[in-house]
Amino acid sequence: MSKFQKIRKAFNYITDRWKTTDRIEKLYFNDNWIDCISECNKALEAGKEDFFYYYYLGLSQFHLNFIDESTENLELALSTSGTQKMNEAIRKYRNYAKYQIAANFRKSRKYEQAISQLDSSIQEDPSYLNFYYLMANIYEDMEETELAIEAVYNGLTVEPKNKELLELQKHLSYTYSLEQSEKRNGG
């Protein structure tokens, strides 16, 4: 095979992957999750193992309440992202996959697994604020308001003026004051 043929083959391979990913992404963002799942499965069955195929498969499954399958495919996405250079290039997608896995655990009421996922995710990238937001919501679900406030505080140390975290902080402060008032009044 000549050098030109090798380059052409590589170019065709990359173009095919890009077209497939583009088609899958459009289906996902048009809320066409069933077709998105079908396209992802076709690509994976054809032996095209790719971060984004597993990623959009897992996200689509979440929207259809296939929570265990969603978690499994998001974990596969994370395991196929490859080299450190590639991981850095798709950092926001990797972070969202980790976030979604924790959200899946929350939805399944597997709170300890969700917190564990978030703890390790924060250690890897403490700048991703959605980790703190979700952690605070999980602690609130568990009626652990003080820990929820601490999670918000940790997020605000990263970005002190984040509106969503500031709003959550107000809500949690109010909830905490009600809890303390009930304790003082014997409730």
Q: What's the pLDDT tens digit per position in 141-186?
A: 999 999 999 999 999 999 999 999 999 999 999 999 988 888 888 7
Task: Yes or no: say if 77 and 95 are a contact pair by the CB < 8 Å rule.
Answer: no
User: How distant, in Å, are the alpha carbons of 43, 78, 80, 134 from that of 49?
Assistant: 8, 12, 8, 30
- b/e string for 107-129 if b means 16 or more Cβ within 10 A? eeebbebbbebbeebbeeeeebb
pLDDT mean over 18-36: 95
Confidence (pLDDT) at 185: 82
pTM: 0.87
Q: Based on the number of CB atoms within 10 Å of its own CB, is 80 exposed (0-12), middle (13-18) or buried (19 or more)? A: middle
Q: What is the pLDDT of residue 84?
A: 61
Q: For residue 165, what are the contacts with CB-CB under 8 A and spacing of at least 6?
A: 129, 132, 133, 136, 152, 155, 156, 159
